[in-house]
Structure 1
Amino acid sequence: MLHPKVKQTIQVSISLGVAIWIFWFLYRDIELASLISQLQSSNWFWITFSLVIAWIGFWIRGWRWALLIRHEEGKSPITANRAYHAVMVGYLANLLVPRAGEVARCGVLSRTNGTSIGHLIGTVIIERSIDLLFLISTILLAFLLENQLFLSLAGELVDLETIGDKILNFLPIVIGGLLVFVLFVFFLVRRYRGKGWISKFQQFFRQLYSGLQSIQSVQHPLGFWLSSVLIWVIYFLTMYTVSLGIHSTANLSATQVLLVMVMGSIGMVAPVQGGIGTFHALVAYILITFGISETDGKIFAAIIHGSQVILVMLAGLWSWIIMVKTPAWNKPDMP
């Protein structure tokens, strides 16, 4: 049986290898001179402005997370700034290990505040659920605005005639598997209820459940939902301002940029480091559909993704330094 660290290293290496291969496959025919020429001809005011907008979005995400985290007795309230720094540490971790950022940001925040990991993970699950809801809403909005083009793209990517049959064929297997898993966990917990490790699992899931309940007792419901909307507006503005800064995409309409954002968001969901490769492939694909040359489409994807990665690396490293220097939380002595 493989050691967990060896297994994790293999998984990270495979995902990174896949990302590098996709990136190489996409850009193997792009000449460096073309990229340099595009960089030189770009309007860097708009690209820099997009980075400012993106940074504001990161801070808002931290503020929204702080609203979800319940103030527990004996622990100091989590400020928006501290939550922001934890979020940036998470983004930085995602560049190294896919999906590691969610655990990383909970870990650094728990260390400096004392809030349980389970509770924090519960709030992150809420965040991701809300983000998924808004992603689906954004896809629906794109469909309403560009329904013909959207159906054409969906038809090319997915066999719409057979997807329903495939879902129906696999649905009983999925449901049956879930039921078996639930029964297995139930009998396992019942059989070893008194064991220490079972107690730890039960405590963790109680903490997780308390985090999931945070949505019902959020400090500022209006602020939470407005910030959730604003985060996705900022995603769009980040993409739109970059499109204005590049000559080949400067004439794209707002609805076309929305579709580019949707494709990019789907690419970022893939389990590879920082969406490398998958983001570039989907963004370039939709731009080519809009009549932009393959070279320009790929260079656009490289510029927006590369600039965002640089921002995450710089801001993430700074936040990591701040969180490392922040003293660990110590449980106050009982009177």
Structure 2
Amino acid sequence: MLGVFFVIYSFQSATPEERQILWRNIKQANPLWIGLSLIFGVFSHLSRAYRWKYLLQPLGYKVKLSNSFMAVMAGYLANLGIPRSGEVLRGATVASYENIPFQKVFGTIISERVADLIMLLLVIMLALFFQYDLLFFFFNEYNINPILSLTALIFLIFIGIYTLKLIKGSKSNKLAKLRNFLNGILEGVTSIFRIKNTAAFLIHTVFIWVMYIAMFWIIKFAVPGTENLSFSYILIAFIVGSFAISLTNGGIGVFPIAIGAILIFFEVPQQDGEAFGWLVWGSQTLLNVVLGSLSLLFLPLLNKIK
């Protein structure tokens, strides 16, 4: 609902001329660059699905890449409806079709998110190196404190792990079922420390984020007025967009507005910046809807024997 509100607000606050310019920029976008962005998006999803296999192997499970990929895409689709529900659906999908306890699968997803959180921190540090003053000014202008938010998230993760260990050590019979469930989650979380091929896991982690940035960066060539933006400017816009996605279901409504707002600082007209944001968000969201829907369709068909 919040995302829909932002879409309506953005539409009504713009003048008819501004809406016309925005729509014209979107219609005139070069489909070649959008297509390349979609290819980069598919590569990132495939790499994520393959990386997940490295976390499940220490638990004694060898998951089909097809099931892993379709579970990832089904999860992305679910996140567009209910935030963070995709992680649950993703874990339940692999647990069902690969006969793995859900709690263990979900634990590996938590580990994945921690690895991605570290990568986001590294990207923020890189952006701060290039454009510290501008990025700090933008966050201050919109009351955003990414360092505090990320620190709080890391703190909550450690608190969660500590709580799991406390329950694991409890001897209470009343907590037996909960203890077994949380033990499975903890086993999945700690699988990241027992990966056999750590180098491959790290390469996939870096590759996923390189593809994220690449599918964002390449769209600059599709919109007149953004093709000359430097890499450092694009990196800052990417970070702003990453935080915007977490505000609503998949960034609906917020993402294009946030991108347009930050690109104004780089002397990009608001309609050009928002067109850039709509093309990035719209193309990748469409990709997730199509692949997510196909995944939900083919998962039971390809696993009909089970």
TM-score past 0.5 threshold = yes
Per the alignment, residue 257 of structure 2 pairs with 281
CA contact (8 A) 2:58 2:195 kept: no
Once the two structures are superposed, what CA deviation does each residue of 1:26-72 show, in whole Å capped at 9, x if it has no partner? 23226453344213321110111100111111100100111111365
SS at match of 1:247: coil
CA contact (8 A) 1:279 1:301 kept: yes
CA contact (8 A) 1:113 1:328 kept: no
Per the alignment, residue 288 of structure 2 pairs with 312
SS at match of 2:303: coil
Q: Measure, in 2, the Cα distance between the counterparts of 1:78 and 1:322.
A: 16
Shift, 1:329, TM fit: 8.1
| 2:81 paired with 1:96 | yes
Per the alignment, residue 5 of structure 2 pairs with 21
Q: Measure, in 2, the Cα distance between the counterparts of 1:323 and 1:220.
A: 28
The answer to which of 27-36 and 275-284 deviates more is 27-36
CA contact (8 A) 2:237 2:262 kept: yes
| 2:110 paired with 1:134 | no
Output aligned runs, 1:102-141, within 5 Å: 102-141=87-126
* Match of residue 51, structure 1, among 19, 33, 38: 38
Per the alignment, residue 8 of structure 1 pairs with none
CA contact (8 A) 2:256 2:274 kept: yes
Q: Measure, in 1, the Cα distance between the counterparts of 2:59 and 2:27.
A: 53
Q: Measure, in 2, the Cα distance between the counterparts of 1:85 and 1:242.
A: 26
TM-score (norm 1): 0.80
Output aligned runs, 1:1-335, within 5 Å: 17-28=1-12, 29=14, 31=16, 33-70=20-57, 77-158=62-143, 193-195=172-174, 198-270=175-247, 272-327=248-303
Q: Measure, in 2, the Cα distance between the counterparts of 1:89 and 1:253.
A: 34
CA contact (8 A) 1:92 1:316 kept: yes
TM-score (norm 2): 0.87
Once the two structures are superposed, what CA deviation does each residue of 1:114-171 show, in whole Å capped at 9, x if it has no partner? 11111111111111111111111111110001122223223323399xx99x99xxx9
CA contact (8 A) 1:67 1:220 kept: yes
Q: Measure, in 2, the Cα distance between the counterparts of 1:151 and 1:36.
A: 31
CA contact (8 A) 2:3 2:253 kept: yes
User: In terms of Rg, which structure is larger?
Assistant: 1
SS at match of 1:194: coil
Query: What amino acid sits opposite 1:202 in the alignment?
Result: R
Going from structure 1 to structure 2, the CA distance change for 1:97 and 1:234 (only over 3 Å counts) comes to same
Going from structure 1 to structure 2, the CA distance change for 1:309 and 1:30 (only over 3 Å counts) comes to farther
Percent of pairs identical after alignment? 26
Going from structure 1 to structure 2, the CA distance change for 1:125 and 1:262 (only over 3 Å counts) comes to same
Query: What amino acid sits opposite 1:22 in the alignment?
Result: F
Q: Measure, in 1, the Cα distance between the counterparts of 2:290 and 2:121.
A: 31
Going from structure 1 to structure 2, the CA distance change for 1:156 and 1:36 (only over 3 Å counts) comes to closer
Q: Measure, in 1, the Cα distance between the counterparts of 2:83 and 2:300.
A: 22
Note the residue ranges of structure 1 that are not aligned, 5 or more in a row: 1-16, 331-335
Shift, 1:108, TM fit: 0.8
Once the two structures are superposed, what CA deviation does each residue of 1:151-199 show, in whole Å capped at 9, x if it has no partner? 3223323399xx99x99xxx9xx99xx79x96xx86xx66xx324xx32
Residues matched between the structures, number: 293
Q: Measure, in 2, the Cα distance between the counterparts of 1:223 and 1:122.
A: 20
Once the two structures are superposed, what CA deviation does each residue of 1:197-239 show, in whole Å capped at 9, x if it has no partner? x322111111111101111121321110011111111111101
Note the residue ranges of structure 2 that are not aligned, 5 or more in a row: none
Write out the 4+ residue segments of structure 1 that deviate beyond 6 Å after TM superposition. Answer: none
Once the two structures are superposed, what CA deviation does each residue of 1:269-328 show, in whole Å capped at 9, x if it has no partner? 22x211112322321111111111122222221121111111001111111112122437
Q: Measure, in 2, the Cα distance between the counterparts of 1:151 and 1:82.
A: 42
Query: What amino acid sits opposite 1:61 in the alignment?
Result: R
CA contact (8 A) 1:112 1:326 kept: no
